[in-house]
Amino acid sequence: MKTPKYIYGIDTVAKKLWRTDGNSFDIISDFKVQKFLIDNISLTETECWPIIGIRNVKTHYNAYKSDVMFTFYDDINTLEEYAWNLCYNEITQTFTTFYSWIPSYSANIDNIMFTFDRNTSKIITKLTS
């Protein structure tokens, strides 16, 4: 996800959150968040393709709050579903909260963040499979 300052992403193999400004590369997942990522990212190197609503890794940007959200969900080949949305504030450079809602898509229009609900995407994907 591109913000005015950085590009953010999730490395699902190393289980780390990162950012770059083009000149430097930083791992932003701290010790507490790193433990969470190790325990809650269930993808392997062979799972390369997202299935919207079922399995995906996504970053979202809320321009109004300067929040970067790291979203992960996996409901394939697991006994339990993994789904979370972790929020990082770009101004304070800290992880601020876990959101209870999981978006499948998002967009900023005039500094207002619009999201599409993952549950709706999940139902549509299952109907078309």
CA distances from 47 to 41, 50, 93 (A): 12, 8, 30
- What burial letters (b/e) apply to 55-91, b meaning 16+ CB within 10 Å? bbbbbbbbeeeebbbbbbbbbeeeeeeeebbbbbebe
The predicted pLDDT at position 22 comes to 95
Q: What are the tens digits of pLDDT across the range 80-112?
A: 788 999 999 999 999 999 988 888 878 878 878
Q: Is 10 exposed, middle or buried (0-12, 13-18, 19+ CB in 10 A)?
A: buried
Q: Is 23 exposed, middle or buried (0-12, 13-18, 19+ CB in 10 A)?
A: exposed
Nearest-angstrom CA–CA distance, 45 and 62: 29
pTM of the model: 0.85
Residues of the chain with pLDDT under 70: 77-78, 129
CA distances from 16 to 70, 79, 107, 124 (A): 11, 23, 24, 30
Q: Is 29 exposed, middle or buried (0-12, 13-18, 19+ CB in 10 A)?
A: buried
Please state the domain extents for the chain.
7-128
